[in-house]
Amino acid sequence: MTDNRFFPSREPLSLGEIARRVGASLASGTNEGATLDGVAPLDAAGPRDLSFLDNPKYAGAFERTRAGACIVHPRFAERAPEGVALLISEQPYRAYALAAQLFYPEEVTGGDTFGERGLVHPAATVHPTAKLGQGVTVEPGAVIGAGAEVGRETVIGANASVAKGCTIGKNCFIGPNTTISHAHIGDRVILHPGVRIGQDGFGFAMGLPRHEKVPQLGRVIVQDDVEIGANSTVDRGAGPDTVIGEGTKIDNLVQIGHNAEIGRHCIVVAQTGVSGSAKLGDFVVLAAQVGVAGHLTINSGAQIAARGAVVHDVPPGQQYGGVPARPIAEWRREVVETRKLGRRKKQTGGSDE
Query: Any idea which residues carry the catalytic annotation?
Result: 258
Three-state secondary structure call for residue 174: strand
Q: Which alpha helices (H) appear in 110-196, and where do they start and end?
A: none
Identity at 28, one-letter amino acid code:
S
| 3-state helix vs strand vs coil in the chain, percent to 5 | 15, 25, 60
Neighbouring C-beta atoms of residue 134, cutoff 10 Å: 9
Q: Which of 264, 236, 233 is nearest to 251 (CA)?
A: 233
Report d(CA 127, CA 100) in Å as an integer: 38
Report d(CA 119, CA 153) in Å as an integer: 10
Report d(CA 65, CA 335) in Å as an integer: 41
Degrees (nearest 5) of the Cα angle 104, 110, 112?
105
Contacting residues for 184 by C-beta, under 8 A, at least 6 apart = 166, 167, 219, 220, 221, 222
Report d(CA 241, CA 279) in Å as an integer: 12
